[in-house]
Structure 1
């Protein structure tokens, strides 16, 4: 490994600026980036998928930690800067130019992998739901360490009863453990976003038996799509859902935010 120039110099050299259209915000603090990489545990020799590396700030930290990084970047402007990292860490970095939403990550990686990413704001939630979805469990990813807007991060780890609790919490917690691992102040970014950020760490756990992920997703989408309404109203469009509530002794006058993750899972089990 050779000494690398400061990230700000790399940005200036390649004439880069954060693209609002691509949801980019760059991090330059190398100590902070090393701390973020460390949240995934020991990465020495491990396969890591990074989405939206930009000029490669977090990528550097992952490579320093010994990870074998596959990075998917849509912005062709950033490719020369990432190529310099490939030269500095021979054999550790593979860069894929393309849209992460259109790439099969499991097929791309071909092995068990961790995901570590400062996700572009405009696709972060969609990517997260994709990683949590599907009937096959456990997934090929061993953990997700992801930067979101703080509001989104709180929605992922929230408990029933509050305004933050919703579909993301249920999808994240029914067969995974999710925790808020670190808050990141807006001033750490260039340009500073209007909101605070936070990092969520997710690890898969055993999947409850007899439950379809697709059914659970349909129930939560309907329930929280009309979260101010009682379940008897929000779930009437889901065939059999009201009968399932009755069978389980769940009061249909309750609202979605009062149901626990376990209760949503039980409704899904009845309908699976």
Structure 2
């Protein structure tokens, strides 16, 4: 491994600045980056997919941990900085200049892989839901360790009955074990974002294969789209939902936030069976 200049020098040397259009905020604290890279466990020799590496701060931490990293970066300004890392860690880093939303990640990786990323805020939730929505389960990815705005992170791990509990919690928790792994103060970023951040760690778990993602999405969208209303009102537009509630013994006068993840999954499962 070659000696690397500090990240601030790399950013200055390549004339980089965080792009608001791309939702960029750079992390420069090497100790913090190493702590983030340690969340998914021992990465030595393992495949890691990173989205939006920017100047490569988090990438460095993965490489120091011995990971084999594939980094997808759409900002061409960052490619020279990442090329420096390829030279410093021969054979450990592959850089793909493309849009992460347009690539099949399983085909790209070709083996089990961990996803660890300081996600751009403007595409973070979409990527997260895409990774959780594959009809093939368990997935090829072994874990997700992702940076979100703290508000979004809390919604992912929220328990039934809480104000943050909603569609995102149901989707995340029916197929994965999700936890809030670390809070990150806004001052850790350059430039500092307006909001606090947090890192979510998810590991896939066994989930019913008789549930269509589209059905679960339709049910939760209707239920939480009118979360202040009783289920008999919010779900009346979903064909068969009220009958399914009765079959499952779920009181239709309850509101969406009182149902457990398992309740929504059972409801979607029954609707699919009756199709």
Give the TM-score category using the shorter length.
Answer: over 0.9
Matched with 1:210 is: 210
- Per-residue displacement from partner, 1:171-225 (whole Å, max 9, x unpaired)? 1111210000000000000000011100000000111353222211221122112
- Residue 24 of structure 1, CA deviation: 0.3
Contact 1:173 1:261 in 2 (8 A): yes
Secondary structure in 1 matching 2:193? coil
Matched with 2:229 is: 229
Give the alignment of 1:133-212 within 5 angstroms: 133-212=133-212
Find the aligned partners of 1:65 and 1:109 in 2 and give their Cα distance. Answer: 19
- Report the count of equivalent residues: 272
Matched with 2:264 is: 264
- Residue 235 of structure 1, CA deviation: 1.4
Q: Could you tell me which runs of 5 or more consecutive residues in structure 2 were left unpaired when the two chains were aligned.
A: none
Secondary structure in 2 matching 1:120? coil
Could you state the TM-score of these two structures normalised by the residue count of structure 1?
0.98
Matched with 1:61 is: 61
Matched with 1:125 is: 125
Matched with 1:97 is: 97
Secondary structure in 2 matching 1:192? coil
Find the aligned partners of 2:236 and 2:86 in 1 and give their Cα distance. Answer: 54
Contact 2:137 2:209 in 1 (8 A): no
Contact 1:135 1:214 in 2 (8 A): no
Find the aligned partners of 2:25 and 2:248 in 1 and give their Cα distance. Answer: 46
Q: Does 1:239 align with 2:239?
A: yes
Find runs of 4+ consecutive structure 1 residues off by over 3 angstroms: none
Secondary structure in 2 matching 1:143? strand
Contact 1:134 1:214 in 2 (8 A): no
Find the aligned partners of 1:214 and 1:107 in 2 and give their Cα distance. Answer: 23
Q: Could you tell me which runs of 5 or more consecutive residues in structure 1 were left unpaired when the two chains were aligned.
A: none
Contact 1:39 1:181 in 2 (8 A): yes
